[in-house]
Each structure stands twice: as structure tokens, then as C-alpha cells.
Amino acid sequence: MALSDIALVSLTQAKSHLRVDAAASLRIDAEYVGVGDDADLTFDLDNTPVSGSLQLYVNNVLQTETTHFSITGADITFVTAPPLNHGITANYDYAAGAGTFESYDDELLENLINAATKKAEDYTGRAFVQREIVETHIGDNKQVLRLYKQPVVSIDTITAGGDALTSWSERLTIGRLYHSVVWPLDYEIVVTYTAGYGATRAATQALVPDAVAAVLMMVAYLYENRTDLVKAESVAGIGAVTYDTPLCVLKSGANLLLNPLRVSVL
């Protein structure tokens, strides 16, 4: 699963928060490059190093780029040919490719970002990045219908029992719809509406910075605790507690940032 368009943070932001290399690189600690013959100037590495990561040695003496050698891709060219029988070794980082553990780690983080964004939205009753939402309610013979996500930008269509409705009033600031009479009892009410703060991730982040921080905290918690999330905990002689809120919200401390955004159900 790729990173969702409505995910509140990017993969790079999550990696920065976790202090994980954003380039997803692998490390070569000791590569045998070749042996000098007092004539050859060019040698090849097994991989293309991440810029600035290469340490190259001739006979265990560290070489300096531009002074002793130059590098293009994985190709090394010495200024002066290494002496006869002098060993050439290197250590460096190189970018992880598809199929490596690091690429799977990226996929894991993207899934965790998607999950953390959803938990934050469910916990607060908010939609962060703007999108169209299709929501089904059952009529309860009352005039007020409460939408599940705020802030509501616009109401696009409403049907009741499959028939389009054209008569309703709305208070979008609190996500409430009012029928001129009542919402028909037991009718399936389908509402299509647009909700969210900004049209893009960047625009949304500027408007809800606390939610951004909370999602990053949840991603970190989920990344470090990759087991089934418990719904209750107990300590002998002390007591027990049952969590109505997802544990990743509570234990990561994200609830402290999200609580001011929670929508009243009244």
C-alpha cells in the first residue's frame, strides 16, 4: 500500500522524526577494490556510493578525493597509480534498491502513516486533507443529522431511500444538517460532501500543526511497538484499565495534542 493522498505527513517527515536515513541506504564496511600494479589508474566499486560517504584506502592509508582520486558513479580514477602490490579497499553507503529490507521498511512506514492519520481523524472527528466523503445514515425521525467529519466545506448531494433531496438547511461550521420536516424514519440517508482543512498536505499541515506532531508521535509508537495493540492492561495488586481510545493515541501522548481538536458529539 502506497502513501495515501490524504496522509497528513510525508515519508521523509516520518523518517526525519524517527531519525532514519531518508535515502534508505545500505552500508559497505570493507570492500576489496583491487591491488595496485604501479600502472592502472582506474578501478570499479561494486556499487555507486552515496555522495560524501566514500572512504578509500591504499595500503590502509586514507585517500582524499580530488587530491588522490576522483569518482564518477562507481568508477574511481586515481591521480597517481597505486604502487605495486598495494591493496585498495573502501567503505561507503549506497542507495537501497527494490527488494532490499530498507525498501520494505519504507512500505511499512507508509502503512503506519496511513494508519496514524486515520486514528487521528477518528479520534478527533476531523478530516485533515480535503476530500469528498460519502456517508450513510439511517433516518431517526428527527430534524438534525450530524456528519461524521469536520470541517465541512460543502454539501454536494443528499438522497433519502434513493431519491434526491433538495430541501435542507445546514450549519457547516459544526457539521449539522437540518431537514425541513424530519429525516424519514429508517430511510437510508446518503450524504456526499467535501470536508477538510487544505487542498494539499502542505496547506493542511500549516493549519493543524498539532495534528501533524500527533501523527508523527503515533507513527513512532507503532514503528517501535510492532505487536497487536492491546485494549486493556492490568497489574496485580494495583488494578486494571480498559482503553476506549486506540492505545497508540494514548501511549504515544498524541491525545494531548489532539484533544483540543476533538469534535463535540452534542
Distance, C-alpha 194 to centroid of its chain: 23
Q: Say what the alpha-carbon torsion angle 258, 137, 112, 244 is, to the nearest 10 degrees.
A: 60
* Residue range 71-88, pLDDT digits in tens: 999 999 999 999 999 999
Question: pLDDT at residue 143 above 80?
Answer: yes
In a domain, 227, yes or no: yes
* Residue range 169-212, pLDDT digits in tens: 877 777 888 887 888 899 999 999 999 999 999 999 999 999 99
Ordered alpha helix ranges (H), 68-149? 101-124
pTM over 0.75: no
Do 90 and 176 have their domain in common? no
Do 156 and 69 have their domain in common? no
| Average pLDDT over every residue of 80-105 | 81
Do 29 and 16 have their domain in common? no
* Angstrom distance (rounded) from CA 266 to CA 261: 15
Do 120 and 247 have their domain in common? yes
In a domain, 107, yes or no: no
In a domain, 261, yes or no: yes
Measured CA distances, 139 to 70, 181, 189, 192 (Å): 74, 12, 6, 16
In a domain, 102, yes or no: no
In a domain, 13, yes or no: yes
In a domain, 66, yes or no: yes
Query: How many separate domains does the chain show?
Result: 3
Do 47 and 91 have their domain in common? yes
* 216 neighbors 208 (Cβ within 8 angstroms): no
Do 213 and 264 have their domain in common? yes
Domain that holds residue 75: 25-95
Do 168 and 41 have their domain in common? no
Computed over every residue of the chain, the mean pLDDT equals 86
In a domain, 45, yes or no: yes
Do 121 and 253 have their domain in common? yes
In a domain, 121, yes or no: yes
Question: pLDDT at residue 243 above 50?
Answer: no
Retrieve residue 154's grid coordinates.
460543502
